[in-house]
Each structure stands twice: as C-alpha cells, then as structure tokens.
Structure 1
Amino acid sequence: MIRFALRLAVSGGREAVARLVVITAAVAIGAALLLSTLASINAVTTAGRRPLWLNSGSASNTAAADVDPVWWRAHLDHYDGRQILEADVAATGPTSPVPPGMSALPAAGEYYASPALARLVRATPADRLGDRFPGRLAGLLGDEGLPSPDSLVAVVGRTPAQLAQAPGARKVTALAGTAVSQCQDCLTDGVHNDAMTLILSVVAGALIFPVLIFIGTATRLSAARREQRFAALRLVGATPRQVAVIAAVESTLAAVAGTAVGFALYLALRPAVATVPFTGERFFTGDLTLRPAQILAVALGVPVAAAVAARLALRRVSVSPLGVSRRVTPAPPRALRLLPLVAGLAELGWFVGRRPHTTTGQTEAYLTGFLLVMTGLVVAGPWITLVAARAVARRTSRPAALIAVRRLADDPKAGFRSVSGLVLALFVTSATVGIIGTINVNRGSLSGDPLTRAAVQYGNLLDDPPMTAGVPDQVLAGLRAVPGLRGLAVVHANPARIGAGQDKRPWAPGLVLCSDLAQIPLVGHCAAGASVAAVPMYEFLNLQSESTAEWPSAPISAQDVARLPVQMLFTTTDGSTAAMERTRTALTTAYPDFQSRTVGDWGSDQQRQLAGWRQLADVVLLTTLPIAGCSLAVSVVAGLSDRRRPFAMLRLTGAPLGLLRRVVGLESALPLLTVAVVATGTGFLAAHLFLKSQMHYSLVSPGAVYFALVALGLVASLGIIASTLPLLRRITGPEAARNG
C-alpha cells in the first residue's frame, strides 16, 4: 500500500510533481526558519554564559580552591558608545587561575585584548583609546571567553600592590562559571538577566508561531484535489484505513523531503543568521547549535504534523465515499471560539497588581498569557471572519461581493486560514511596539539632550566614597589642553551636608566653585555674588540640560572647598568623538581606578536593556512579516488550485474573468482587514496589561509612524493577493471543468 501511495503521489504527471515540489519548497523554508529560530535562542544562552568569568571578583563568587589567589577587579569602560569589559588582574603565584581564552595571566605592563578591541586600538589614535591600556599587547583573547566576535574585552596586568589599594578589588581562587540570581556587583548578567530572559521567551513564541502556521499551510496545498481522488478510491473499494495510509504517505513524502532540505538550508544560512544581532551583537557561527531534542522534534514533528493534517482533512471522505462530491456546508463556528482569547487576556489582567516576584514566575505568567492570546486569535479567527462576512452580506448587492461573502460564510475556516500568519504578525508587532514605545517614553532616551551629550563625567557618584583627596595641577592642565574641551568643573564631596537644607535625600549636594560652574552652563548657574554653589549630585547624571536652574549658594569659602575631597570631575566638550574620547583617556590615565562616562553611555541598566529590546523588536518584525507574507501567498495559491473546477464552471456559464478576480480578492481581503483590526487592538490591550503588571505603566500610543507602517504592510499583503490573480486565467480553462 505504501509503494502504491508513492506511485500515486507522482502519477499525475507534471502537475503532481510540481505540487510536490512546491510543498517541499514551502516546508523547507518553514523548517529552515524554525531551526534558525531555535538555534538563535540557544545562541543567546551560550553567548551569555561565556563571559561569566568576568564576574569572578563579585562578592557572590565564593568558590575556593587550593591554588594561588589572583587579585581581581572588573569594571566597565566605553568608547564612542560601545561598552568595553575590562578586568585588572595580578597573579600571586604560578597556580593563579587563568581566564578562558588565555594561556597565562598578563604581567604588569601587559594586557590581553579581544580581536575586536585589538583592531579598534590599532585603528584609533592612542590618545583616544590605546593609552588607557598600559604597556604592550601580550596576546588575543580566544573565542571561548567572548560573548561575540564584536565584543570589546581586555584583561590588564597590574601589580598586587596596585590592586590592593584599588576600590572593589578582591582576591579570588576560582573564576566564576555560572550565573547567580542576585548579584549586586556582577559585570555581566549572562543568561540570568531577568528582563532579557522574559523578553526572549516571548520572542521565541512570537517567532515560532508564524513558522508553524506556514508549515501547516504548505502541507494543505491542493487538499481539495486530493480529497476528490481519495473519494474515487473509496468508490472502487478502498477501505478508510487504506485511504488514510495513502493520504499520510503523500503528505509525509513532501514533508520529509522538505524537512531534509530545510536542515540543509539551515546549515547554509547559519553564517547569515549569526550576523543578526539578537542582543545587540552578532553571534559566533558555532553558537548556532541545536540540541538533540530539538533536532529530533523538528525531524519527526514536521512530517508527523503533515500526516495528521492530511488525516484530519479526510474526515468527511472516510465517512462517505461520496462526501467530496456531495460537499455540504460545514457547521458554522460558534462564539465559544472566543474563550481561549478571553482566557489569555484574563490571565494577563489577573497579574495586574499581582506581579510574580521571581523571574521564573514572571516568565511563566506572561509567556503563558501571550501564547494563549496568540492561540486564541487563531481559534477565534474563523468566527470573526463569519461575523464580518454576514455583516457585509447585509449591506451589499454587488455580485462579486455577494459571492465572496457567501463563500466566506459557508467556510470561514478556509477564508481565515490564508491570513492567519499575518494576523499573528500584526499582534506581535502591535504588542512589541506598544511595550517598547511606552518604556521609552517613561524612561527617557539614551541620546540625551544635545547639550548634555558632550559631557564626560568621571569619579564616584552620589553617596559613594570620594574619588581623591585633590586633583594635581598637571592633571587639570592636561585636561584643559585637550582640543575641543569646553568646560571643566571639580565637584567636591560634602560630608557636612552643607547646603542640604530640607532635602531628605540620602546623598548631600556636591560643592562647586562658581567659577567652575560658569564653565559648564548646562548644569545650571550660581546666584548673583555667590562663590560656591550646592548642586544636587543627580544633576550631573541628568539627561536633560538644566541651564536655567539657579543653585543655592553654600556658606563656605572657596579656600575651604578646595581642601575637601573630590567626588567627581565633570567636563564638557564640543561633542565630537575625538574630544570626548581624548578627555576620557586623559582621565583614565590619571585615575585608572575610576570610571568615566558620557551621557550617551550613562543610561541606566533599564535603558540599556531598552536598547536591546528595540533590537529584538526589529528582529521579530523583520522575521515574522516575511514568513506571514509567504504563508499568505501559499494559502491564496492553494485556494485557487482547490477551487479551479468551480471557477471554471462559472466561466463556462458566462461569468467574466474580472468578476472571479474580484471574488478571490474580496475573499482574501475581508478576513485580512477584519482580523487585522482585532489583532492590532488585542496586541495593544495585551501590551497594556503587561506594562501595568510588570512596570505600572499605561500604554502610550505608538504614533502615526507605526500606523503608517501597518497600513503599508496591509497594502503589501493586498499586493501579494493581487499578484496571484493572473493564475485564474490559466487554471480556469474548459479543461479544468472537464478533468476536475
């Protein structure tokens, strides 16, 4: 029977072979995208695990071993908006632990650099970057210690005496190898970044759903023609079991071939997929790997799903051999189909005010809710299509519209099936853009005010210990000699809380000479006649200019202020990369134990996560929309092929070709536009519930640009539908009515 089924699958001549080729190609594309999605999610985890050794100096790394300890101090640096991860080390003996990707610890006056950082140092003037790393480049860090080929990482050799006095330095006997759930002083969160873990879980579902729909759509090509052939087999004596075997073999044949080609296509696409910056940086190609369970699930799951789909499609044929010839209107979908959608929204709403306290709890709560809503949209789609078709039928008298809505009302499942992928893409797009846009409005922008972008801050902040007892004159002279420097202010610590007034904040204002404050007008100015101002420390971290602010004078002389410890150096430049990085390098060389930041890289952890989420949103949009477009094209072509005989009969009875084209266009456009409105609104509602629960924000409208892009996407979808209409002339000839 299996051999007969294989012969039958290709016995229809060129048409049968072409059908199998199209199904194979569609399944191959879907399988390749599914494999690429799974491999990318794995790569995020792998890439996040490799740099965990940089957390070796954290207080939570308490591992011990019978080895010589190593002095360790990890910290951040930046260059032109890019983050540099740096570890200062000093060995205390021959058995001190060595980070991955290195053969030995660098001696004092040497450093190891990642390949990307080494290239950047060579291509950049030394006074902008290279002078921050003392001595010579001793070697390159291997891939096993880097999260990405583009990562900027340095391991700098120091003496034990230097690090013994450095703030935050510790002796460690073992390097960190695993992430911890709570880490106050970790340099990298690895795979336990709470927000990234949560958003990646939703992204995985958002990417996989359209791919699975695309694969399911592909396996249904020419379903009606196959049903007619199987009904004929029943008429000549074939049993329901034999027909089921033939159907499963035919569908599985193309699915197996498509899955095999999909694996080959995935391997060919790995280098290109590795360049997609899911987390802001590209992957190593070797990170794109699949777990055995995932390989097995795709290799077996896609063909099994195709066989199940074929079996379910033949339920009416199995009941009666004449079931296909005497096709009756199936039972209309009922409003009960709305239950999964309502349940998903209800779950998201339940957690408003009841947010789980753990990352695992949040992931389970929100991921389940979003996946349930996406499932609900697919389940409720036919009922929504039915309601829309009946509503249009009551308000139209045009022949093409009446035929189209009548066919949609008879089989709304088939009408919705062609646009289900796009509906999910619109939901994902609306929810993602709504969440990202709202967070952006509430948490500000990374770019900052044009005036503050030129600022370089250096030292300890807020209530941290003072940076230094004083700033040598030669350091100040060297900073003022930097081309492009506009202003320099020395912010002194204020242990006596002079000028704090009624301010109950835990940190005292910084004390700044008015002559210095006049050089940095974006922070504010002194009162008339004052010599020292008490400026709130957070104003030096502000993303917005405060040039109109007048700060209260402090009852202390300039001479007494000069004797106070220094909390921070605040400089402004002309905003050029050269000026800012030369200033940063001069400060780093003078004070290697402290960090400098510009406003561009001073964004909070939440803002840096926001930048990563924007990148993920772009990946979701650029991936789901093409997949959904392919699903739409395949579905429309499949629908035309399945209805070639009815359309041919209509042409023989005098229906013009233009009328048939309008019928097909309306059958596809009506469910697309109707459910698109529902999907977009549902996406915004789900985003609002998530934001209320997780961050206590209300949804902010994404603005006209987003709606214009959605309209452009719908126009492109209508264009895909229109591009299939010329097929009507070729497939509705008289021979289709005779041989259908």
Structure 2
Amino acid sequence: MNVRQWAADLMLGVRFAFTGGREGWTRAVLTAVGVGLGVALLLLTTALPSALTVRHEREAARSDITFSGEVMPKAGDTLVVARVDTDFREDDVRGRALEPEGPRAPLPPGVEKFPGTGEMVVSPALKELLESDAGALLRERLPDRIVGTIGESGLIGSAELAFYQGAEGLASHIETNQGRMERIDRFGDPEPVSERSDPVLLLLILVVFVVLLMPVAIFIATAVRFGGEQRDRRLAALRLVGSDSRMTRRIAAGEALAGSVLGLVFGTLFFLAGRQLAGTAEIFRVSVFPSYLNPSPLLALLVAVAVPAAAVLVTLFALRGVVIEPLGVVRSGRQRRRRLWWRLLLPVAGLAMLYPMIGNGRDNGDFNQYLVTGGVVLLLVGVTALLPWIVEAVVSRLGSGGVAWQLAVRRLQLSSGTAARMVNGIAVAVAGAIALQMLFAGVDSDYTRSTGKDVSRAQMEVTLPEEAPLEASAQKLRDTKGVQAVYDFSEGYLGDRATDAEWGTDLTVGDCAALRQIANLPSCRDGDVFAVHGAKWDTSLDDGNLAEPGRKLYLDPAYEGSPEKPDTPWTVPQDLKSAKPRSGLLDDEFDQSGFLMTPKAMPDTFASGLQGRAYLKIDRSVADVQDHVRNTAAGIGLLTDTVTWSEMERTDRYDVVRTGLFVGAACVLALIGASLLVSQLEQLRERRKLLSALVAFGTRRRTLSLSVLWQTAIPIVLGLLLASVVGLTLGAVLLKMTGTPVGVDWAGVLSMTGIGAAVVLVVTLCSLPPLLRLMRPEGLRTE
C-alpha cells in the first residue's frame, strides 16, 4: 500500500465527514467541539511558562528596594523610593512613595510622569475599586488625587492593585528606614540572587503538569470516537460499492482526521476567546494580561501535529475489533473478554520507573525528569486501561432489579467500553489529584512554619515612624473601631561603646501592663528598670555583663562604616530588677531579651532614638476591623507599617506552586465537566430512536431517566474506586521518593473523590432536559 492510496482514502473520509449528510457533519462538529476544548486547554498550558516568565520579568524590572544596606549619594539622576504597601480586606495593594531628586530621576515602568505631592498614579484595577462603593474604606487611606494609570509594562497582572504616590521629605528618613526606603538611580535589581533549586519543589511542579495534562489528552482521544456506532453503520455501505475492510478503516480515520482538524480550529478560537477573558479574570489571586499568554511556537506546532495523528491512530485502534460487512456491522455478537495481563503491565512499568528514585529526598540531586514523567504517565494511563476491564467484569455479574436498573445494566453489558471511556478523564483526574494531595500534605511541613506569634493576645502589629509620638498614636489606635487592647512599646539598641560596640542588647520601653506581655516581672511600678535573664537567643546581656550596676551603655551605637552619632550614655541603675522572658507575643523562638524600662525611668535623650511599635488585640467580629486599623495607621504617618499576624506562614515558591495547582485544577475540572456533557449528549443523540421506541411502547420517562442515571453512576463509582487505589499508590511512591513518611489524609481523599462525583452528577443533571426532548415518539420519524 503506497502513501498516495493512504492519502486518497483519508481525504475521502474527510469529504464524507462534511458531505455525508446531517449525521456526518453533526458527528464532525461534536468531535470538533470536544477536541477543541482539549486543544484550548493544551494551548493554555503551553502558554503558562511564558506567562510566568513575563510576570517574573515585570516584577524584576520594577524592583526598587534592594536591601543593599548602603545609601547612594544624592545626584541629579536619583530617586528616593519608600515602600508603602497595604492590604484591603484579603487583597494585597502594592504601594510606593516617590521623591525625585533631579531632572534625570528614573521613572517606574508603566509610568509616564512623576505624581506630585498629593497625587498618585494607580493600576486600572485599583482605579476601578477606588471609584466604586466597595472601595470607600480604602479611599480613606488613599485620598490623593488620581492623575494617571500605570501601564501594562509596570504591572504583573490585570487585576493587580498598585499605586505610586508623590511625596516630599523622604530623603531625611533613609538612614532610619533601611529596608523600607532606598535611593536609586534605576529600576530593576542590579544583582539578582539565583536561588538554589529545590529537588522536591521541582518534583511537585513536574507532577502537577503531568497530572493536569493527562485528563486533557485522554479526553481528546475520547472525543475523536464520538458517534462511532452510527459511523460504522454508514461505512458498511461502502463495502457494497467495492471497498475492502482496510480501505474502510482508512476512510473512518479520515473522518476522525477531519473532526480533529476542525477541532484545532475550534480550539484556537476557544483559546483566543479564553485569552481575552483571562485579562478580566482573577483565579486564586493570580491574574495575567492577554499578551502574557503566548504559547511556545514549538509546543503549539507539537499540539497541531499530535492531535490529528492521535485521532487517526485512536480510530484505527478502535476499529480493530469491529467487523464492517456490506450488510451491517458485527458488534452485538459475543465479544471476546478483555485481557488483563497487558493492562497490568502499564502501572507496573510506571512503578518500575519510579522505584530507583525512592529515598532520594533533597540530598541526592534533582529527580530524573524523564523517569518521573514516564512513571506518572504510565500509572495514570493504567487507569484508562484497567477501567474497561473492571467495568466489563462487574456489569457482567449484575443481575435482577427494577426496570430502570435492568435497562442500564443491559446497556452497559453491550457497550462497557463506551461507558468506561466517558469516565476515563474524571478517573485519571481524581487519581492524580489524590496523589498530589498526599504529596502536598506530606511535604507541607517542610515549607510551612509557625510564626511563633500568640494570636490569642494580639492579631496586628503597627510600626510607627520616628516622628510619630507613641502615646498619641497608641491612643488613636485604641479609639479605632473594633480594637480591644493596645500594647505599645518604644524599642532601641544599647551597646557598651558609642562606636564599634563589642556587646549590645535590646532596649524596650513601655508601661507595666505592656511589659508584662513580653516578660514575667516580679513586681512593677513606673520608674522600674528590668534586665531580662535567660533568653534563648540573645545572651549578650549575661555574656557581656551589661547588667552590672553603674556600667555605662550607649543608645544606638555606630558600627564600622556607619556615620558618627552623638553619644547618648545611660548608666545601669543600682536598683535594677531581674525578669524572665515570656514567649509568644513577639516571637515564640526569638523571645524577649535585654533591658525593659518603664516611661519614668527613660532618659529624655532617648526619645528621638527609639522606634515606636504597637501590638493590637482586635474584635474580628467587627466588619472590616483590620481596614479600620490600617486607615488609622495611615493617618498617623506615611511610613506607618501595619502587619496582620498569622500562626503559620508558607515559603513563597511553594505557595506559588500550590496556587498554580489550584488554578490549573479549576481549568481542568471545567474542561472535564464540559467534555462529559458533550460526551453524554453524543451518547443520547445516538440512542434517540431507541429512546423514542421505548417511550412509544409505554416505558415511563421517569424509568428511562433513572436508567441514564444508573448508566452514569455505575461506571463512575468503579472509576473513582480505581482512581483512589491508583492515586494512593502513586502518592505513597512520591512520598517515598521525597523521603517523607507515608501518611494518608482520608478527608482529602474523600474530598477529591467527592468533587469528581459532584462534577459527574452536575453533568448528568444538565443532560436531563435534552434527554426528555429526545424521549418523544416523533423521534421514530424517518425521511
């Protein structure tokens, strides 16, 4: 057989797909819609690396606070930048205050000109929020006049909330606000730090991509088989005009090729539409601009070639057990039972590929990406291979029951393969989700740590600018709606020398009620001074004998390279009292140390050298209590910093991967739901004459509806059970590979299977209205 004959037969099948009457083009459109949904998600997936790269580049290009520790001298091309980030409800708001110091000061990316004092330029999303009723509370905090918007080049996403505001007098605060304020002559990090790759994190990323893409690939393979039974009956007519069985199969492959190529067109249109919608959507606080979603040309070409090729191969594979004769299609005779041995080889081979990496953990280099990909793919493909055998083996043993049950069981016994194909995608998705859930739960403790904060005593922290009076600021915070208590302190650092101190320790000033929150005091009255002994980390007070009465200590000593400061000596008093540290309020690990003073004991010369800080206990039942506190803090001063405490915190890179999984899973679940609905409608369309005949003979619509539900429920239950077994196995192996003890979060496993079952239930309910329309006696009419 030469290539020209193959091509001629395939093209004949393409013609039949579009000129074979209503049945032909209906099947082609259904196939195209199914394939198109899969192709759109594949294109979206191939565009994700590009989107993440662009977001990273945009973030790096606008970098300004570099934590260099050195102050750049003022010049005609310098700019003072202060970080004035805030939060609004659950959203982060990126903020910068700008003070240009010369005509050549660098403009931030996306900004055309500097805002003046009392003015600001904002992102489009923030402008929309501030102008809406929902942003009224935030508007109190950002009262500056909006004079422009930040361009796309200065934002990492379409939904990002960001602003630049004009300011003056920032330069005088650089020394005391390093880390929050900096003088720069260009935007962008001049010395980006490359982080060491984390093998476990890379493994997570690799498995996430495989798990998200496998259901898509399986659905595309299922979509090209839509309308198979009616297509085969049409092909039987070709045998009457002289075509042999091989030619007939090639023509069938041509029909599938036509549907898949049309599916590429649909998929491209779906992707372009979704690309535009992505510019207006935010999923798990992640947003992008449409221009970010540019698929890699090589990967897009791979999709364009692989999808039609897969359509042809899948069709030829599906027809291997079908005998198409001139007078009909032999399907309903007794079929040979499916063999189990080769189906078991797939998951066993997958486990064999993963086995050499068991116990690698983080200390033995990166995991072999080819073995990981191959092993996970084979295990998940094993679900699609085993499920038809399991469905066939189970339904063949099902017997008596109601009419609806018997109709469903008999249908499954005649076409168990079709029923299994419908739920293959959801079964693979659930298996992968269970494995990922186990892996994330197992390594979560490696990337999540306790902050040590005692959130029962305080829930927010406010750092005051140096010019803000502590008592007046604390009183404003106490008067804020929803604030129950405020513990305010002045903090500094004492050294044994005015310059180049050898020993140094912390100094904390506060009233007795506040000091009791951070240390165990024997007794306290205004005028007392305490030395905290027994701190876990800072032992300078004891090792350097700094608490010796009569010893002179200096506030905020200058170190090598620091500008000289006036001496501010303080003599350790004779009536110094001892205290023990109390963990929890500030940090459970780095507990309180050094000297504690009450206000009356503090020298007047210390007032200008201490940093004010307040810890707030709030009533979370008060609506927007945190934003009320932030508004009060903003009124105290531009450089007031507000932080909301939490008990746990996660590593940023791990959090990005975790969020990416949620975003991808949401997209895949939407695809699976849509694909199952298309598949269900295609099945009902093929059986409309049978349904009409049953209704004409007196079968109740309720009975037929229940039979359809049973036909969906039986395979999905078997599929979810198989998915749970494979998912638990894969999850256990992945945990062994990372050197993590194997544990099963049964609540998570049940939630994954429950989500899968819920998707199927929703799809089945959505298919009931068209089912009722098909169950009419008029459906028997034939032109």
TM range (shorter): 0.7 to 0.9
Q: 1:682 to 1:586 in 2, by over 3 A?
A: farther
Stretch deviating more after TM superposition (628-637 or 143-152): 628-637
Q: 2:708, 2:250 → 1: CA distance?
A: 33
The match for 1:188 is none
Q: 1:353 to 1:293 in 2, by over 3 A?
A: same
Q: 1:696 to 1:240 in 2, by over 3 A?
A: same
CA contact (8 A) 1:332 1:411 kept: no
The match for 1:501 is none
Residue 628 in 1 paired to residue 628 in 2? no
Q: Give the Å deviation of 1:720.
A: 5.9
The match for 1:55 is 63
Query: Which of 423, 430, 448 is 2:427 aligned to?
Result: 423
Q: 1:727 to 1:342 in 2, by over 3 A?
A: farther
Q: 2:364, 2:96 → 1: CA distance?
A: 30
CA contact (8 A) 1:225 1:642 kept: yes
Unaligned runs of 5+ in 1: 185-191, 460-467, 498-505, 544-548
Q: 1:73 to 1:368 in 2, by over 3 A?
A: farther
The match for 1:414 is 418
Q: 1:347, 1:61 → 2: CA distance?
A: 49
Q: 1:710 to 1:85 in 2, by over 3 A?
A: same
Q: Give the Å deviation of 1:644.
A: 8.0
CA contact (8 A) 2:720 2:753 kept: no
Query: Which of 224, 227, 236 is 1:219 aligned to?
Result: 224
> CA-to-partner distance for each residue in 1:553-574, whole Å, 9 max, x for gaps?
9797876677597466123154
The match for 2:215 is 210
- Letter of the structure 2 residue corresponding to residue 582 of structure 1: N
Query: Which of 267, 278, 297 is 1:273 aligned to?
Result: 278
Q: 2:681, 2:192 → 1: CA distance?
A: 52
Q: 2:155, 2:668 → 1: CA distance?
A: 30
SS in 2 for 1:540: coil
Query: Which of 372, 381, 384 is 1:375 aligned to?
Result: 381
Q: 1:126, 1:23 → 2: CA distance?
A: 50
Q: 1:230 to 1:608 in 2, by over 3 A?
A: closer
The match for 1:539 is 585
Q: TM-score, normalised by structure 2?
A: 0.70
Q: 1:661 to 1:605 in 2, by over 3 A?
A: closer
CA contact (8 A) 1:31 1:263 kept: yes
The match for 1:463 is none
Residue 141 in 1 paired to residue 150 in 2? yes
Query: Which of 675, 678, 681 is 2:719 aligned to?
Result: 675
Residue 515 in 1 paired to residue 512 in 2? yes
Q: 1:311, 1:614 → 2: CA distance?
A: 40
Query: Which of 457, 477, 481 is 2:476 aligned to?
Result: 481
Q: Give the Å deviation of 1:146.
A: 0.6
Residue 85 in 1 paired to residue 94 in 2? yes
SS in 1 for 2:586: helix
Q: Give the Å deviation of 1:260.
A: 2.0
Unaligned runs of 5+ in 2: 1-7, 497-502, 531-578, 620-624
Alignment coverage as a number of residue pairs: 690
> CA-to-partner distance for each residue in 1:496-535, whole Å, 9 max, x for gaps?
89xxxxxxxx9978746452427x96x6864555855554
The match for 2:31 is 23
Q: 1:210 to 1:492 in 2, by over 3 A?
A: same
CA contact (8 A) 2:449 2:649 kept: no
> CA-to-partner distance for each residue in 1:181-208, whole Å, 9 max, x for gaps?
6369xxxxxxx99999776655544443
CA contact (8 A) 1:430 1:684 kept: yes
CA contact (8 A) 2:470 2:490 kept: no
Q: 1:427 to 1:73 in 2, by over 3 A?
A: farther
Q: 1:360 to 1:263 in 2, by over 3 A?
A: farther
Query: Which of 183, 188, 194 is 1:182 aligned to?
Result: 194
> CA-to-partner distance for each residue in 1:638-659, whole Å, 9 max, x for gaps?
4566678999999999999999
Query: Which of 736, 743, 747 is 1:702 aligned to?
Result: 747
> CA-to-partner distance for each residue in 1:60-115, whole Å, 9 max, x for gaps?
999xxxx9864676746222343343456666765555432134567899765434
Q: Give the Å deviation of 1:581.
A: 0.7
Q: 1:224, 1:385 → 2: CA distance?
A: 20
Q: 2:653, 2:456 → 1: CA distance?
A: 21
SS in 2 for 1:303: helix
Q: 1:139 to 1:730 in 2, by over 3 A?
A: closer
SS in 2 for 1:280: coil
Residue 599 in 1 paired to residue 645 in 2? yes
The match for 1:385 is 391
Query: Which of 208, 219, 237 is 2:242 aligned to?
Result: 237
Q: 1:633, 1:14 → 2: CA distance?
A: 21
Q: 1:196 to 1:627 in 2, by over 3 A?
A: same
Q: 1:413 to 1:631 in 2, by over 3 A?
A: same
CA contact (8 A) 2:37 2:671 kept: no
- Letter of the structure 2 residue corresponding to residue 238 of structure 1: S
Q: Rg bigger for which structure?
A: 2
Stretch deviating more after TM superposition (380-389 or 557-566): 557-566
Q: 2:265, 2:226 → 1: CA distance?
A: 19
- Letter of the structure 1 residue corresponding to residue 669 of structure 2: L
Q: 1:195 to 1:69 in 2, by over 3 A?
A: farther
Cα RMSD (Å):
5.4
Q: 1:528, 1:145 → 2: CA distance?
A: 56
Q: 1:200, 1:275 → 2: CA distance?
A: 26
Q: 1:385, 1:323 → 2: CA distance?
A: 27
CA contact (8 A) 1:49 1:179 kept: no
Q: Give the Å deviation of 1:53.
A: 1.9
Q: 2:739, 2:287 → 1: CA distance?
A: 29
CA contact (8 A) 1:205 1:371 kept: yes
Write 1 or 2 for the structure with the bigger share of helix. Answer: 1
CA contact (8 A) 1:227 1:324 kept: yes
Residue 571 in 1 paired to residue 620 in 2? no
Q: 1:453, 1:362 → 2: CA distance?
A: 47
Q: 1:341 to 1:472 in 2, by over 3 A?
A: same
Q: Give the Å deviation of 1:420.
A: 0.7
- Letter of the structure 2 residue corresponding to residue 478 of structure 1: S
Q: Give the Å deviation of 1:300.
A: 4.2
Q: 2:780, 2:93 → 1: CA distance?
A: 70
- Letter of the structure 2 residue corresponding to residue 487 of structure 1: V
Q: Give the Å deviation of 1:673.
A: 0.3
Q: 1:493 to 1:244 in 2, by over 3 A?
A: same
Q: 1:5, 1:666 → 2: CA distance?
A: 36
- Letter of the structure 2 residue corresponding to residue 489 of structure 1: D
CA contact (8 A) 1:116 1:149 kept: yes
Q: 1:481, 1:638 → 2: CA distance?
A: 67
Stretch deviating more after TM superposition (618-627 or 717-726): 717-726
Query: Which of 248, 252, 256 is 1:251 aligned to?
Result: 256
Stretch deviating more after TM superposition (140-149 or 174-183): 174-183
- Letter of the structure 1 residue corresponding to residue 718 of structure 2: T
Stretch deviating more after TM superposition (143-152 or 245-254): 245-254
Q: Give the Å deviation of 1:337.
A: 2.0
CA contact (8 A) 1:72 1:170 kept: yes
CA contact (8 A) 1:28 1:260 kept: yes
Q: TM-score, normalised by structure 1?
A: 0.73
Percent of residue pairs bearing the same amino acid type: 23
> CA-to-partner distance for each residue in 1:601-626, whole Å, 9 max, x for gaps?
x963437964x667545544543334
- Letter of the structure 2 residue corresponding to residue 153 of structure 1: A
Q: 1:404 to 1:241 in 2, by over 3 A?
A: same
Residue 334 in 1 paired to residue 334 in 2? no
Q: Give the Å deviation of 1:422.
A: 1.7
Residue 581 in 1 paired to residue 634 in 2? no
Stretch deviating more after TM superposition (28-37 or 727-736): 727-736
Q: 1:92, 1:553 → 2: CA distance?
A: 40
Q: 1:558 to 1:57 in 2, by over 3 A?
A: closer
The match for 1:129 is 141
Q: 2:48, 2:264 → 1: CA distance?
A: 19
The match for 1:187 is none
- Letter of the structure 2 residue corresponding to residue 627 of structure 1: L
The match for 1:546 is none
